[in-house]
Chains A and B, each alone.
Chain A
Amino acid sequence: MEKKETFAEVFEARGVKRRDFLKFCSLMSVYLGLAPTMVPRIVSAMEKKPRIPVIWLHGLECTCCSESFIRSSHPIVADIVLNMISLDYDDTLSAAAGFQLEEIRKKIMKEYKGKFILAVEGNVPLKDNGVYCTINGESFLDVLKETAADAMAVIAWGSCASFGCVQSARPNPTGATPVHKIIKNKPVVNVPGCPPIAEVMTGVITHFLTFGKLPDLDRLKRPKTFYGVRIHDKCERRPYFDAGMFVESFDDDGARKGWCLYKMGCKGPTTYNACSSIKWNEGVSFPIGSGHPCLGCSEPDFWDNGPFYTRRADVSFVGVNSNADKIGVVAVGAAAAGMAAHAIGTAIKKGTSESKTVETEED
């Protein structure tokens, strides 16, 4: 394979203006939360370092991550993405197909052993020897393991790859399993979201290119820069939350005035993502901005934590068709009934016998 060009060379060849290129670099520095002094570092990384080869695998998924990715707001962002992957391997976007494409994957794996990034979209069905997702006759499990063995790092794109998403929701018929539970011996970054925000995806790769390492990760292996803060804490409706002004139904006055969606089932208080800061579609809006409660799509098991339009406290769990308060009230009722019965028992006992008090000593 020919020597890898730098990002800057690719842009030049594609007629991207230098000005736009610099704009892209500063944009990335902002998303990554870097000081303005770091912009030159990003520029120089883009100019000097050869592009990182990326192999992009698709497992059990719906391609919404790819769809989101190729719609990055900044035109160059989209370009980067396409250049980065169409030249290497992506079974959805590549021109090549079939055996030809698989050849390319094998070739990259050999030539860039230990130097390429493996991006995984979707997850791995483990049941019945992985027959529920096969590529070119091989189970996705085998393909993933084989490719990951030679990768430098693995990026799990989207909630499927990160946490399992809808295909692993109860009862998980195919045994869909997120990437980090399968690949244990390589650094794995989770970039959850259904789909993740395009800029977040590009940001992770830019960080990697600039600093040669993965960004700081939190406990769930998510990049802290983008998943450090809850939606709730940067939400534009937060003043209404604090004031206690809540939308009660989608057509009420509060909804028209843009009040807080907490009572409409908003999962913002328990969801870590960058939607309320970076937003979507070139920064136009995000679900809450458009009057829809957050579904918590970047949180583990969000499909099992529904219903989406029910406020948290009403959510039923552990397969019981009952929320915390129903269980609580029943327990209190049972305790009261039990005690009342016991009181009657005590009265009868007292009536039939003189209760004898035994003196006891304890240590």
Chain B
Amino acid sequence: MARIIEEQYVWRLPVRIYHWINALSIAVLFVTGIYMAFPIISPPVGEAVWYHRMAWVRYIHFGTAFIFIANFLFRLYWALFGNDRYGRFGGFKPWLPAWWGQPFKEQLASYLFLKKEEPDYCGHNPVAALTHFLFVFLGSWFMILTGLAMYGENNPGGFLDTMFGWVVLLFGSSLTMHTMHHLVAWVFPVYLILHLYAVVRHDIVNRSSITSSIITGYKNRVEECAEYAD
């Protein structure tokens, strides 16, 4: 049996709203993106001019992309300047050797079953922070930069083309850039699996109500109660 000894307010409203907009827009971007690559629904009948199927899918992808970008930039602002103990970059300093020290090693060891204790962090644990950095932070930057460069191609010489055209040069050709945008898109479903598993697992192991915390904002700290010995 466990008893809730403390309710902690961890995820503030802006962070929770960000989380869900992010989750939804990534889902939409992934589905529409894959559809653009594999437009499988059988073609409509009649005059092409009345149909905009592919055009709509692209339109939704681009519209959602701008929501995704705005949301991402907001989160970046919040992480850097927000007065939020758990939602800012704060302690995440992977360029310092110290960051990879005790807490990180312990958390990793615990995940790898090398250690019995399960550390329980209010915010993100160091391994989670690293995972978020690699998948969500870098992954989003990659998708945004390549995405905007591709979007700029629709209007050569326009604003986005001028601002982000250099990205094409990193890949050598537009085709390679498209292919890499497509490949890196898979980072998100992979992350989703790791993420959902880690959340549910923490909920069970630490009983911290981490799952509902992204809706309510509260995490519980629980204490094991002594069993009746009758």
The residue on B at minimum CB distance from A348 is B113
Q: Does B165 contact A (CB under 8 A)?
A: yes
Q: Does A1 contact B (CB under 8 A)?
A: no
The residue on A at minimum CB distance from B196 is A339
Known: A327-B186, A339-B193. A363 touches B154 (CB 8 A): no
Q: Which of B43-89 contact A (CB under 8 A)?
A: 43-44, 48-55
Cβ-defined contact, B193 with A360, below 8 A: no
Q: B180 to nearest A CB, angstroms?
A: 8
Q: Which residue, A243, A254, A353, has most C-beta atoms of chain B within 10 A?
A: A243
Cβ-defined contact, A312 with B39, below 8 A: no
Q: Which of B99-151 contact A (CB under 8 A)?
A: 103, 111, 113, 116-123, 125
Cβ-defined contact, B173 with A299, below 8 A: yes
Q: Does A283 contact B (CB under 8 A)?
A: no
Tally A residues with Cβ within 8 Å of B: 62
Please tell me which one of the listed residues A329, A336, A362 contacts residue B122 in the complex, with CB atoms under 8 A apart: A362
Cβ-defined contact, A349 with B116, below 8 A: yes
The residue on B at minimum CB distance from A355 is B118
Q: Does B97 contact A (CB under 8 A)?
A: no
Q: Does A240 contact B (CB under 8 A)?
A: yes
B interface residue count range (under 10 / 10 to 19 / 20 to 34 / 35 or more)? 35 or more
Q: What are the residues of chain B within 8 A of A336 when measuring CB–CB?
A: 193
Q: What are the residues of chain B within 8 A of A302 when measuring CB–CB?
A: 173, 175
Q: What are the residues of chain B within 8 A of A355 when measuring CB–CB?
A: 116-118, 205
Known: A301-B176, A312-B178. A363 touches B201 (CB 8 A): no
Cβ-defined contact, B120 with A357, below 8 A: yes
The residue on B at minimum CB distance from A331 is B190
The residue on B at minimum CB distance from A244 is B53
Q: Does B225 contact A (CB under 8 A)?
A: no
Q: What are the residues of chain B within 8 A of A345 when measuring CB–CB?
A: 113
Q: What are the residues of chain B within 8 A of A262 when measuring CB–CB?
A: 39
A228 to B165, CA, bound (A): 12
Which A residues contact B (CB, under 8 angstroms)?
A: 218-220, 224, 228-230, 233, 239-246, 254, 259, 262-263, 267, 269-272, 296, 299-302, 305, 311-313, 315, 317, 324-325, 327-329, 331-332, 335-336, 339, 342-343, 345-346, 349-350, 353-360, 362-363
* Known A245-B44, A259-B43, A362-B121; further 20 A-B contacts with Cβ < 8 A: A219-B168, A230-B156, A241-B54, A242-B48, A244-B39, A244-B43, A244-B54, A245-B51, A270-B153, A270-B178, A305-B173, A312-B175, A324-B182, A328-B186, A328-B189, A342-B197, A349-B116, A356-B118, A360-B120, A360-B125
